[in-house]
Structure formats: C-alpha cells, structure tokens
Amino acid sequence: MTQTTSTAAAIAEEELASNLAANTNDDKARFPFAIVGHVDHGKSTLIGRLLHDTGSLPEGKLAELKAASDKRGGVLEWSFLLDAFQAERDQGITIDTTQIFFTTAKRRYVIIDAPGHKEFLKNAISGVAQAQAAFLVIDAAEGVREQSRRHALILHILGLRQVAVLINKIDLIDHDADRYAAVAAEIRHYLGQLGVTPLALVPISARNGDNIASRSEKTPWYDGPTVVDVLDNFVPAPAPVDQHLRLPVQDVFKFDHRRIVAGRIESGRLRVGDRLIFSPSGKQARIASLESWNAAPQIAAGAGQSIALTLDDELFIQRGDIAAHIEHQPHLAHQATVRLFWLDTAPLLAGDRLKLKVATSEYPVFVERIHAVIDVGNLAATQSDRIDQNAVAEVTLRSPALMALDKFDEFAKTGRGVLLRDGDIVGGAIVLHAGAVDQSRNLYSPTQSIGSADRASANGHRGAVLWLTGLSGSGKSTLAVSAEHRLFQRGRQVVVLDGDTLRQGLNSDLGFSPEARAENIRRTAEVAKLLAETGLIVFVSLISPWQADREKARRIVGENFAEIYVQADIETCKSRDPKGLYKKALQGEIKNFTGIDQPYEAPEEPDLTIDTTALTEEQALQQLLDLVDRLCALNGYESRRPADSYTI
Ligand SMILES: Nc1ncnc2c1ncn2[C@@H]1O[C@H](COP(=O)(O)OS(=O)(=O)O)[C@@H](OP(=O)(O)O)[C@H]1O
Ligand SMILES: Nc1ncnc2c1ncn2[C@@H]1O[C@H](COP(=O)(O)OP(=O)(O)O)[C@@H](O)[C@H]1O
C-alpha cells in the first residue's frame, strides 16, 4: 500500500468512527423494544406505568390522567395515557403513539408500536419495527391465549431472541405463587418448543405498580428482577457496521451530468475507491465520490447512514439493485424458500402470484410449493395446499426475475421481505434458503442471447411440445384448454395452439387436402418449437391424421416433444359431434372430413394414449398433467424438503 492510500484509509476509518459516534447521539441510539400480548392482557397499562415509574411523563400528565380517571369512576386508568397521547397526535402535536420514549437511570428507550396498534403485525413483519427485545404480557388470571402464542411465534420468526414474559394482573390471582407458577410453566413450555428461553418471567401488576420499577412487598416469594431491571439488562444488538456491506439503491438521480446513486447503508461500510457490485445485474464500478451538501466532503460511511455516491463508470443502476463488495455478494436466485406469516383474509394457495418486496426491490413471485403449514397452537407442521390468515408456513417462491437475496440469519435487512398483493401487504417472509444458480450464466451481456436453460430456471420448468392428435370430437381441445388453465394456475408458462384458431390466421390459406394438412402441421410445428424454446409448455391440438406428418413435426421440434393420442372411436365422435360437423360431412356438405371420407392413422407408438371413451374429463386431464410433470420438471429443481423435516 502506498503512503497516500494508507493515509486516506486511516482518515476514512477515523471519519467513519466519528460518523458512527455522531449517529449514536440521535434517537436511533435509544434501545428499541416491543410489548406484545393478547388483547386486554395489560399492555397499555404497562406502558403508562413504565412512563410514570421511570419519571418519564411530561409535566402535568399525571394530574390530567387522574382527572380523566376520576370522571370515569375513580380507578386510575394508566391506559388512558395512550389515549391522551393519541389525541395529541391527532391534533398535530409531537408525540407519536408508535414511538414512545422513556429513560431509566441506565439508558434511553423507545417502545415500538403502541399495543393495540392494528399495524403491529404488519410493521413488525415489514421490519419497520426494529425491536431488539420484547416483553410478552400475559394475564395471570386468563393464562396463555391464542394471541399470546401467535405473538410469541412472530417474535421468534422475526429472529428476536431477547424475550421476557411479564405475567400481569397478579393482584387478580391474589398474588398467589402457585397460580403464578402454573402460568409461568405453560408459557415456558410453549417458548421452549420454539427454542426460545425467556430471559426472565416477572409477576407484575401494571395497574398497581408491583415489580415494575421496584420490588413489590406483595410478592415476597419472588426474588427476581423488576421490569426495569430486565429492560436494563437487555443487550444491544452488535452494530451492523461490522457485517458485510449491503446498500440497497433507493434512487438514481441525474445531477450536473452526473449520475448519483442514493440509498441507506443497511450493513457494513464503504469508502471512496471501493469496487462495488450491483446485484442482480452484476454490474461493477468503483466509488468515485461520496456526495455531501453543505458539509465537509466524506470519504467513508457505514451502516445506518443514508448516502449518495457517484461511480467511476456510467452504469445503468436502478432502484432495487443491491450494492455489495465483490467478495461478499447476495445470493442470486429465481427461487427462494421462505418462512412466511400470512395476514390476508383470503388464503394463499399454491400457484398464487404475489410481489416479494425486499429492501428497495420488488420481485414478481408465485407460490411454487407449500412445504408445511404450522399450527400456532401446538406448533405441529401439516401438509396443506392453502395458508389461511394468521398462519405460519414454509413455502418456496419462484420468480421469473433473478432475485438478489440474503439468508435471514446472515443479513436481517436484506433477508426478510414483505409480500404484496394488489399493492397491499398480505404477509411477511424471512428467507431460509435462496436457490443458487450458476451466476456466470445469468450475468448477461447485451450481445449474449438468453439460453433455454436460463429461461427454464426463471420459469421453474422446461419448455415442451405436447402434440395432441385424434379425430374431430375426440377431446383434444377440451383437454388442451383444461390443462392450460390448471398449469397457469400453478404459475406455469403455457399456451395452446389449436387447429381451429390457427386456421383463422396463420394457416387461413390452407384447406383439408393431404398436402394442405401437411403444410398446416409443418407450420404449426415450427411455431411450437419457437415457443417451447422460449420456455413455454405448448399444447398443440391438431387432428394431424397421418403418421408421417406427425413424425416430421417431432423432427422439427427436436427434444421435449410428446405425441399424445387422444383416442375415441368414430362412432363416439359422431355421437358427440360438438360442432355439428359430422352431421354436415355425412350429408356431404363438407368434403375430405377425417374419419368419414378421409382416413385417420392412429399413432404407432405414442408417448401417451388417453382413451376419452373410458375416462372422465378429469381423469383424462390428470394423465396429461402427469406427463407434463415428467417432461417439464427441471433436474433437481424441486429442492423440496419433506414436511416432516420441518423445524421451527
Ligand atoms: N374436412 C375437415 N376435416 C377435419 N376437420 C375439419 C374439416 N373441415 C373443417 N374442420 C375443422 O377443422 C379442424 C381440424 O383442423 P386441423 O388443423 O386440426 O386438421 S389437420 O391437423 O390439418 O388435419 C376440426 O377441428 P377439431 O374438431 O377440433 O378437430 C374441425 O373443426
Ligand atoms: N374424457 C374426455 N376427454 C375429453 N373430452 C371429452 C371426454 N369425455 C367427453 N368429452 C367431450 O367430447 C367433446 C370433445 O370435443 P373437442 O374437445 O372439441 O374435441 P376435438 O378438439 O378433438 O375436436 C367435448 O364435448 C367433451 O366434453
């Protein structure tokens, strides 16, 4: 390293350190925690109490509260405090109920998401609520309830490991040690199944102030910490600045002929001269400058800072790209296995299409497979094809877009996302596994064409041509169209090429002579080949009465071609006569009609024969879909985990 660069590096370190130190002086340095629990178990009262007992109430608030409580019958209602804050907020005064601040002798705190706040789950899941610890409040008289369980599960899913349980309303059970012990055992057992060991369980009465800021005389059998002790003992998370760099691009501005890339550094650090790679595009450039307005020029920055930088190369960077150092990039994948929490009233089904929003990027995805749905009550994993509201499940999502993702346990911010349907948040997801792809294959240069393997990887299946042959009325179109619907619902790329339709456009110049039919089949085979190469599952529904023409079609398409004989005898077809054509042909109104005055050669060795005279439409469809599954599955693409290997 030269003298100049080492000096620059030293300055950068120093500057970064001072920036970070500056950061610790703002409100971000408050220790953020959440209070969760079943409705009416006492969360609001606890907040009122905490503010009061730590001396954090604004002047005059207590008097106001007393007056309000007197009006309603005398008992001091600590939860009115939150109502009062809410009222002030509604009038445009500064206190925000979703961010309540208070201070103990040891440090400053921010309570994230006031209890009862309907958005808690959404916020918690979307990562807005960056709590580092949580209190789970449980009513001593009522014990563990559905919401207590669900909230505990969410805390676990969100990766929150510092959890303490406050068993509230201890006065309602007459400060009874045995009843307290029973509730404590129940919640310990449940949390134990999740692999969570509560840091403490505290018997409290939020209303009366027992064991909040000082030890209560009414629970002489309890010798553990108070709520404030527990708070002060939560350990702040290690600074994300020590992790690898993740800079999700928020925007790119044109300014004075320069392109300025803006974003918030979610983890790690960077400095001028660093070489960055932007995922998923794979473009690379060095940082030319860190922009600053009305401030001394910066040459380094770290996690938590919002920055604007320029690059030494005019790359096309866009919102949603993630900048990282080359040695430690996010995973690139079309497929991700996630643990999700479903919020929408409408269930999530296999094949459903959603958007996965991770940091600043949004990817279209569909549910490729639901591995297991978790019962919130007993944590049992069951196999299901639907995920109902408030359920937790493990699923594989697939995107036609290449996604840049991290695993949640490695990078919290870029390893978790929100699921959107029609613009609404309908669930949250943490990434357990991002299916890796061969990166070199996916970093395209504009001159390199996209191969069928890339397309298959994006779609989650290979392209193929399923050539349905059979008499008019045998059931070709019926089967092709139902298969198309079924596969489309599963998120497959699929299309039907039907003789009737093609003959109205591409092949409108052709009749039904043997030569015209041969040309009809040749053209259709060429089109089917092109579509299959772009990754589609193509159903061709043509009578294609001659073996030689069908063999030619197979040669044109090449690999991934299947000949399917849709079998029904002529008498059955005549009796079905869905379009009334047999009647006309028998009356001589239509000439050269297959099966009447032109032959039909049944396939000699079809890949599949579907006898529609013996099967119901559904059975016939299943036979066809089974063949599609075999023909179009990617090698190893499933990467499925059986439900019984599910652990949470
Ligand atoms: N002479 C004659 N013979 C057979 N079929 C006739 C004829 N005239 C019109 N139609 C209608 O055209 C559809 C068949 O066209 P195809 O393109 O599938 O035929 S071929 O593959 O070229 O043999 C066929 O559709 P399907 O009933 O779905 O098979 C008929 O609707
Ligand atoms: N198992 C079956 N599979 C497909 N179609 C069936 C079956 N059983 C009865 N049908 C009926 O046969 C007719 C087939 O018509 P269509 O699909 O237009 O045939 P094609 O496209 O081969 O001319 C439809 O009316 C359909 O409801």
Q: Tell me what ipTM this predicted complex has.
A: 0.95
Average pLDDT of the chain, as a whole number = 84
Q: Which of 479, 466, 468 is nearest to 565 (CA)?
A: 468
| 192 in a known ligand binding site | no
pLDDT grade, residue 255 (50/70/90)?
A: confident
| 472 in a known ligand binding site | yes
CA distances from 273 to 16, 268, 288, 525, 646 (A): 15, 16, 6, 55, 45
pLDDT grade, residue 124 (50/70/90)?
A: low
Beta carbon of 472 within 6 Å of any ligand 2 atom: yes
Model confidence over 225-240: pLDDT tens digits?
Answer: 999 999 999 988 766 7
Beta carbon of 544 within 6 Å of any ligand 2 atom: no
Binding-site residues, ligand 1, Cβ < 6 A: 472-473, 476-477, 499-500, 503, 512, 517, 520-521, 542-545, 579, 581, 590, 592-594
Residue 603: the pLDDT is 97
Residue 392: the pLDDT is 86
Residue 120: the pLDDT is 57
Q: Which of 564, 469, 566 is nearest to 517 (CA)?
A: 469
Compute the distance between CA of residue 380 and CA of residue 373 in angstroms, rounded to an integer: 8
| Ligand 1 atom 8, closest CA | 593
Q: Which of 591, 529, 587, 578 is nearest to 554 (CA)?
A: 529
Model confidence over 309-334: pLDDT tens digits?
Answer: 999 998 889 999 999 999 999 999 89
122-158 core/surface letters (b: 16 or more CB in 10 A; e: else): bbbbbbebbbbbbbbbbbbeebbbebbbbbbbbbbbb
Beta carbon of 541 within 6 Å of any ligand 2 atom: yes
Who has greater pLDDT, 120 or 353?
Answer: 353
Beta carbon of 481 within 6 Å of any ligand 2 atom: no
For the CA of 580, the nearest ligand: 1
Q: How far is the CA of 201 from the centre of ligand 1 (A)?
A: 77
Query: Which atom in ligand 2 lies closest to the alpha carbon of residue 578?
Result: 25
Q: Which of 471, 543, 573 for a ligand 1 pocket mutation test, highest count of atoms within 8 Å of Cβ?
A: 543
Cα maximum dimension of the chain: 105
Query: Which atom in ligand 2 lies closest to the alpha carbon of residue 579?
Result: 18
Q: How far is the CA of 478 from the centre of ligand 2 (A)?
A: 5
Q: How far is the CA of 494 from the centre of ligand 2 (A)?
A: 20
CB 262 within 8 A of CB 310: no
Q: Which of 469, 474, 481, 500 for a ligand 1 pocket mutation test, highest count of atoms within 8 Å of Cβ?
A: 500
| 470 in a known ligand binding site | yes
Specify which residues 36 forms β-bridges with.
136
Model confidence over 547-587: pLDDT tens digits?
Answer: 999 999 999 999 899 999 999 999 999 999 999 999 999 99
| Ligand 2 atom 10, closest CA | 475
| Ligand 2 atom 6, closest CA | 475
Compute the distance between CA of residue 150 and CA of residue 498 in angstroms, rounded to an integer: 51
Mean pLDDT, rounded, for 252-266: 88
Secondary structure percentages of the chain, helix, strand, coil, to 5: 30, 30, 40
Model confidence over 137-172: pLDDT tens digits?
Answer: 999 999 988 878 878 887 777 777 799 999 999 999
Q: How far is the CA of 576 from the centre of ligand 1 (A)?
A: 15
Residue 648: the pLDDT is 27
pLDDT grade, residue 390 (50/70/90)?
A: confident
CA distances from 378 to 152, 193, 194, 285 (A): 12, 9, 10, 51
Q: 384-389 — which CB contacts under 8 Å span 24+ positions? A: 385/349, 385/350, 386/347, 386/348, 386/349, 386/350, 387/340, 387/342, 387/347, 387/348, 387/349, 388/342, 388/347, 389/342, 389/343, 389/344, 389/345, 389/347
CA distances from 438 to 281, 331, 444, 461, 622 (A): 14, 10, 12, 16, 34
53 φ, ψ to 5°?
-70, -15
Beta carbon of 482 within 6 Å of any ligand 2 atom: no
E strand segments, 88-242: 99-103, 108-112, 133-139, 163-168, 201-203
Beta carbon of 622 within 6 Å of any ligand 2 atom: no
Q: How far is the CA of 544 from the centre of ligand 1 (A)?
A: 9
168: exposed, middle or buried (Cβ count in 10 Å: 0-12, 13-18, 19+): buried
Compute the distance between CA of residue 320 and CA of residue 358 in angstroms, rounded to an integer: 8
Cα atoms in the Cβ-side hemisphere of radius 13 Å centred on 501 = 10
For the CA of 616, the nearest ligand: 2
| 474 in a known ligand binding site | yes
Residue 99: the pLDDT is 67
Residue 44 designated active-site: no
Q: How far is the CA of 583 from the centre of ligand 1 (A)?
A: 14
The set of residues, in sequence order, having a beta carbon less than 8 Å from that of 192 and lying 6+ positions away, is: none
Peptide bond into 280 cis (omega under 30): yes
Mean pLDDT, rounded, for 267-296: 90
Secondary structure, 3-state, 488-516: HHCCCCEEEEEHHHHCCCCCCCCCCCHHH
Cα 107–Cα 108–Cα 113 angle in degrees, nearest 5:
140
Q: Which of 466, 478, 593 for a ligand 2 pocket mutation test, highest count of atoms within 8 Å of Cβ?
A: 478
Q: Which residue reads 């016939």 in tokens? A: 620
Residue 637: the pLDDT is 35
Beta carbon of 624 within 6 Å of any ligand 2 atom: no
Mean pLDDT, rounded, for 370-394: 85
Number of H helices, E strands in the chain: 17, 28
For the CA of 507, the nearest ligand: 1
Beta carbon of 374 within 6 Å of any ligand 2 atom: no
| Ligand 1 atom 18, closest CA | 542
Q: How far is the CA of 165 from the centre of ligand 1 (A)?
A: 73
Query: Which atom in ligand 2 lies closest to the alpha carbon of residue 566?
Result: 22
| Ligand 1 atom 13, closest CA | 500
329: exposed, middle or buried (Cβ count in 10 Å: 0-12, 13-18, 19+): buried
| 60 in a known ligand binding site | no
| 645 in a known ligand binding site | no
| Ligand 2 atom 11, closest CA | 475
Q: How far is the CA of 365 from the centre of ligand 2 (A)?
A: 34
CB 432 within 8 A of CB 140: no
Beta carbon of 500 within 6 Å of any ligand 2 atom: no
Q: How far is CA 12 from the centre of its chain?
A: 37
Residue 645: the pLDDT is 28
pLDDT grade, residue 102 (50/70/90)?
A: confident
Q: How far is the CA of 35 from the centre of ligand 1 (A)?
A: 69
Model confidence over 1-57: pLDDT tens digits?
Answer: 334 444 555 554 554 444 444 333 344 478 888 888 887 888 888 988 898 899 887
Task: Give the active site residue among 79, 148, 361, 544.
Answer: 544
For the CA of 475, the nearest ligand: 2
Compute the distance between CA of residue 69 and CA of residue 86 in angstroms, rounded to an integer: 17
Q: Is the dihedral of CA 240, 319, 98, 409 positive or negative?
A: negative
Q: How far is the CA of 175 from the centre of ligand 1 (A)?
A: 85
All domains in the chain, ordered by first residue: 27-233 (3.40.50.300), 240-325 (2.40.30.10), 332-438 (2.40.30.10), 459-632 (3.40.50.300)
Beta carbon of 479 within 6 Å of any ligand 2 atom: yes
> What global pTM score does this model have?
0.60
